[in-house]
Amino acid sequence: MPGPPPDEPVSPVRTRQRSRRTDPWTLLTLLIALVLALPVLTVFAHVFMPATEVWEHLRQTVLADYVLNSLILMMGVGVGVLLLGVPTAWLVSLCDFPGRRVFEWALLLPLAVPAYIIAYTYTGLLDFAGPVQTQIRAWTGWGWGDYWFPQIRSLPGAVVMLSLVLYPYVYLLSRAAFLEQSVCVLEVSRTLGVGPWGGFRHVALPLARPAVVTGLTLALMETLADYGTVEYFGIPTFTTGIFRTWFGLGDPAAAAQLAGLMMTFVLVLIVLERYSRRRARFHHTSTRYSRLPRYRLSGWRKAGAILICAFPVALGFIVPALQLGQWALRTTDVWMRPEFLTLVWNSVSLAGIAAVLAVALALIMAYGKRLRPNLAVNLAVRVAGMGYAIPGTVIAVGVMLPFAWIDNTIDSFMRAQFGVSTGLILSGTLVAVIFAYCVRFLAVSLNTVEAALTKIKPSMDDAARSLGMGPLAVLRNIHMPIMRGSVLTALLLVFVDVLKELPATLILRPFNFNTLAVRAFELASDERLADSASAALAIVLAGIIPVILLSRTIGRSRPGHDTPA
């Protein structure tokens, strides 16, 4: 007796014809998107609620400072990351000078240093009691008030700190755009007598503008989401205001309303970034991709290129890493203390669980989109991937409010029916923390998995389905072996992002539960900078590996990617 007919092969035409059919993959994708959108929807819902007395107090006293300081911070960091990221990306992509191949990956190293850690480090170096000012007084004999020195704990200081660690977002995407540019366009500009600077200004930069704007938007989102730096420097912004309203004033509704106002800034950035990409339509004149012609620099141009590339690497990574290493050597016994090992275990286990869940959710959603690329699925995947644009404090507020309501509802029911208190089974445990991480960092794994899936030809799906494989079998036996490298990269990226996450962990962590990021923040806030070095250095070291992987990926992003010179 013949068996059941094999599943119908998945082709683009048949997929479009069946896109309206409701199936398990579509339902699962929509359900995941709805659950992950819960924090954002919760925050938006509170925006339309009546204003509380606390909100009126905030509006009349500190709200203007939150808005003004956040805007100044974003504008300053925007200028800083553009000045550091775009010229360095062009130099290592289209110029030839000593050390270029080292700078290609070294310029990404500051991405491994969280902003709050670099803020602690430079405070220890440049404060009045730090080694720099101490040495100045030793050389000159000056005392307090006899000389002027820049105040590191200030709004301009925060702009510099954030610019040093966020410029890699602009560098990352700008370099990828420069590497993808057509040889013909660049060669034509040379035949017209355009030199290196003119080629950069009139040809390479306009072609890369959409990528530059995207990198700038990411950097500004991270600036708006920063908590550790602005809190340590005493600068009132949206993130510090949300934290103080929640814990200091004890008003979750007012904190949610403040978070909703903050989200309007994020949405404006997203809309501007999308608008820029929609308006910019730059087409290359050729599909010929060969080794990029490089401008060979000499004399003062060569020295200038080396200095321009070395400046952000030295200030954004080498100086902080050396200072952290020096402090850590003073407290080498910390590394073997039970409490430090507990911090490492808490951080690693939490990051590992969140990374596995985020990648698993990304696989389900990306594959669901591949199977059923209809409007509902595409919209759901895009909504689920918006969490990365939402600051950790906003997500934490959006997670805590519905989880606390669910906990109270369950507890009231159990007390009434069985006389048993269930306690805080969601909001008081690591469930809330891990859920917030998945919401925040799903986009990192989703983008990586989607990029890997697009490289697999649909004909492979058709062949597997014609042999009787179902969708899950195709994913497990065909796609997963091919995407193994991309999946591991996504796991590593989410793992390191979770290790560095501070505001969401601070708000949602259970009592007596600490991570490396939280401990480093607590010790630095108590002015115990040397004691915080071990935890901070562990986070930095963990971030180096994915940074190098990113650099290697970018270097191979160009078809026929350029070979060593």
**pLDDT tens across the length of the chain (565 residues):** 444 444 444 444 444 444 445 578 788 888 888 888 888 888 877 766 776 788 888 888 888 999 899 999 999 999 999 999 999 988 888 788 888 888 988 898 898 888 889 998 999 888 888 888 888 888 888 887 778 888 888 999 999 999 999 998 889 888 877 776 544 455 555 555 555 555 565 566 666 677 788 788 878 888 888 888 998 999 999 888 888 887 777 777 788 888 888 877 777 777 776 666 554 444 444 444 445 567 787 888 889 999 999 999 999 999 999 998 888 887 766 767 788 888 889 888 998 999 999 999 988 888 888 888 788 888 888 777 777 767 788 888 889 888 988 989 998 888 888 888 887 888 888 899 999 999 988 887 887 787 777 777 777 777 877 777 777 777 777 778 877 777 877 888 788 888 888 888 888 888 888 888 888 888 888 888 888 888 888 888 888 877 777 666 665 554 444 444 3
**Does residue 286 sit in helix, strand or coil?**
coil
Assigned domain for 337 exists = no
Quote the domain boundaries for residue 62.
52-109+166-283+290-314
Q: What is the pLDDT of residue 134?
A: 87
Asked whether residue 303 is domain-assigned, the answer is yes
The per-residue pLDDT for 8 is 45
Residue 98 lies in a domain: yes
Whether the Cβ atoms of residue 207 and residue 177 lie closer than 8 Å to each other: yes
Which CATH number fits the domain that encloses residue 215?
Answer: 1.10.3720.10
240 located within any domain: yes
pLDDT at position 203: 60
Global pTM reads: 0.80
Phi, psi of 298 (to 5 degrees): -145, 165
What amino acid is encoded at 22 in this protein?
T
Task: State both tokens at 146.
Answer: 């006899």
Angle subtended by helix axes 24-36 and 375-384, to nearest 10: 30
61 in a domain, yes or no? yes
Query: What pLDDT sits at residue 236?
Result: 92
- 512, burial (CB in 10 Å: exposed 0-12, middle 13-18, buried 19+): exposed
* Burial grade of 376 (CB within 10 A; 0-12, 13-18, 19 or more): middle
- What's the Rg (C-alpha) of the chain? 26
What Cα–Cα distance (Å) separates residue 507 from each residue in 122, 244, 503? 26, 11, 6
How many CB atoms neighbour CB 564 within 10 A? Answer: 4
Task: Give dist(CA 145, CA 158) in Å, integer.
Answer: 23
Burial of 280 (0-12, 13-18, 19+ CB in 10 A): middle
According to the model, what pLDDT value does residue 76 have? 95
Point out which residues pair with 295 in neighbouring strands. Answer: 95
Please report the pLDDT score of residue 278 as a whole number: 57
Distance CA 553, CA 445 (A): 15
Residue in the structure block whose two tokens are 């600077």: 197
Q: Could you tell me the two tokens for 156? A: 């301009």
In contact, 396 and 56? CB cutoff 8 Å: no
Residue 255 resides in a domain = yes
Cβ contacts of residue 422 below 8 Å, gap of 6+? 407, 410, 411, 414
Tally of structural domains, the chain? 1
Long-range contacts of 548-556 (CB under 8 A, 24+ apart): 548/105, 548/108, 549/489, 549/492, 550/108, 550/111, 550/172, 551/104, 551/105, 551/108, 552/105, 553/489, 554/172, 554/175, 554/176, 554/179, 555/104, 555/179
**Dihedral Cα 164, 165, 167, 169, nearest 10 deg:** 180
Residue 405's φ and ψ, nearest 5 degrees, are -65, -45
Query: Looking at the domain assignment, is residue 470 inside a domain?
Result: no
Distance CA(338)–CA(540), nearest Å, equals 21
| Angle formed at CA 385 by CA 379 and CA 389, multiple of 5 degrees | 125
CA distance 534 to 563: 39
Our measurement of the distance from residue 307's CA atom to the centroid of its chain's CA atoms, rounded to an integer in Å, reads 28
φ, ψ for residue 129 (rounded to 5)?
-90, 0
Cα distance between residue 74 and residue 225, in whole Å? 11
Count each helix (H run) and each strand (E run) in the chain, helices first.
28, 2
CA distance linking residue 96 with residue 73, whole number of Å: 35
Instruction: Report which DSSP code applies to 5.
Output: P
Residue 547 sits at φ, ψ, to 5 deg, of -65, -45
Going from the C-alpha of 414 to that of each of 288, 294, 404, 426, 432, the distances in angstroms are 69, 71, 15, 15, 21
Residue 114 phi, psi dihedral angles, 5° rounding: -60, 150
User: Any residues with CB less than 8 A from the CB of 488 and at least 6 apart, and which?
Assistant: none
| CB contact set of 456 (below 8 Å; sequence gap of 6+) | 478, 479, 482, 483
Q: Give dist(CA 384, CA 31) in Å, integer.
A: 10
As a whole number of angstroms, the distance between CA 338 and CA 343 comes to 9
Q: Which amino acid is at 185?
A: V
List the alpha helices (DSSP H) in 455-528: 458-466, 471-474, 480-482, 484-500, 503-508, 516-525
The answer to the question of residue 259 being in a domain is yes
Q: 507 and 400 in contact (C-beta within 8 Å)?
A: yes
